[in-house]
Amino acid sequence: MGSRGMTHGKGPGRPKHQPLRTCLGCGQKKPKRELVRVVRTPSGAIEVDPTGRKAGRGAYVCPGESCLRTAVRGRRLERALEVAVPEEVLDLLAKAVSDGTGRVAEPSRPVETPRASRVSPPGTRSGRDPLKG
């Protein structure tokens, strides 16, 4: 009996799904990465979440002062988070959006640095020996 081994390769890679979130200020849906995330952690603390990866209930605003102001004054932010947002968090948020990046300096937290340098193994392939007897 002849047996044929057929191996099906995996399909082509799908395009990356871009998660959209709604800004509490202007109400526009934007890619999550372009928004500043505020999170209510499981312990109940409100934090600005530059990484967008903290666990908890999140709310999003554009990195712009007008959107932040609308979100805060309209109480949309605290309604979204279901708790009042402390002033220090609003302060951090204001800094984050004024920077335009949504990044917040957190001195007490070590920053993860991705390792960009790759160590390539040295090629130890020896050529043909030119000397032959």
Q: Which parts of this chain interact with Zn ion (CB under 5 A)?
A: 23, 25-26, 62, 67
Minimum distance from residue 7 beta carbon to Zn ion (Å): 49
| C-beta closer to Zn ion: residue 22 or 50 | 22
Task: Identify whether the C-beta of residue 68 lies closer than 8 Å to the C-beta of residue 25.
Answer: yes
| C-beta closer to Zn ion: residue 46 or 67 | 67
d(CA 120, CA 133): 36
Minimum distance from residue 71 beta carbon to Zn ion (Å): 8
Minimum distance from residue 45 beta carbon to Zn ion (Å): 24
Find, among 61, 58, 59, the residue nearest to 35 by Cα: 61
**Residue found under tokens 């009996």:** 1
| C-beta closer to Zn ion: residue 29 or 42 | 29
| C-beta closer to Zn ion: residue 19 or 133 | 19
Contacts of 111 (CB under 8 A, 6+ apart): none
Minimum distance from residue 64 beta carbon to Zn ion (Å): 6
